[in-house]
Amino acid sequence: MSQPRPPNGPSAAGNPSAIPPKEPSSSHTTGLRYPSNGKTIYHRHLSRSKTAELSQASFAYLFSEMVTYAQRRVTGIQDLEKRLNIQGHPLGLKLLDLLLIREPPRSQSRPLNIITLLHFIKINLWQHLFGRQADRLEKSSDPDAPDEYMIIDNEPLVNAYVSVPKEMSQLNCAAFVAGIIEGVCDGAVFPARVTAHSVGSKEEGEMWPGKTVFLVKFQPEVLEREALIGGKG
């Protein structure tokens, strides 16, 4: 009698190089339970909620709770903005992949230079998050700051609903969005510091009182690489 073996089991017979297969999943035991219909995040089409909408008010409520909560755990405005920035950062990292994979295959390419990356942020990221492009993209005119770029939003959504208390009038909740932008830059290997600055004046007649500049300051190695590859791609 030959040795019984499982019907779909591998056999080493006739193949001297074969070895019993390792079951890699066995080293990754998981305790997660799934519904009996087997539906998980992996069964959901990635574009399913691409165009789905929720109420703007829901976003405003959640966002201001997030800010209020963060406020209790910080020492000052700078600290608070930093915290909001940190909370936005992982979203940028993830949205970078999500937005790219949703592009039609022929335009699915990684940004290779600063301008392509910033356009991706101004167009794709803004369109996705806020339903429109950012208003402007500018390079710093300061010759001493060739590493600085500005993304300008005349009316950031995150500031539209959040009423900042008087004693915190310097706070710009768009720091959260700055964090998202920073996440996109870091993820795409264009490490940068991104900060949000209110530039709209509060004076009567000002068309964009909430106007915000997102200042993107790239790390030196980004400019060095840019010089090397000559802005190709």
Considering only residues 194 to 233 of the shown chain, the ones binding another protein according to CB under 8 A are: 225, 229, 232-233
Q: Is 132 in the site for another protein (CB under 8 A)?
A: no
One of 121, 150, 157, 178 touching another protein (CB under 8 A): 157
Q: Is 96 in the site for another protein (CB under 8 A)?
A: yes
One of 100, 115, 164, 168 touching another protein (CB under 8 A): 100
* Rounded CA separation 147/26 (Å): 49
**Quick one: CA dihedral 107, 175, 46, 58, positive or negative?**
negative
Neighbours of 206 (CB within 10 A): 11
From residue 172, give the alpha-carbon distance in Å to each of 6, 43, 91, 152, 165: 64, 38, 18, 14, 11
Of 4-12, 162-170, 196-204, 209-217, the segment contacting another protein by CB under 8 A is 4-12
Q: Is 30 in the site for another protein (CB under 8 A)?
A: yes
The answer to whether the CB of 120 falls within 8 A of the CB of 111 is yes
Of 63-71, 194-202, 203-211, 215-223, the segment contacting another protein by CB under 8 A is 63-71
Which residues is 218 bridged to in the sheet? 192
Give whichever of 140 and 219 is closer to another protein, judged by the CB atom.
219
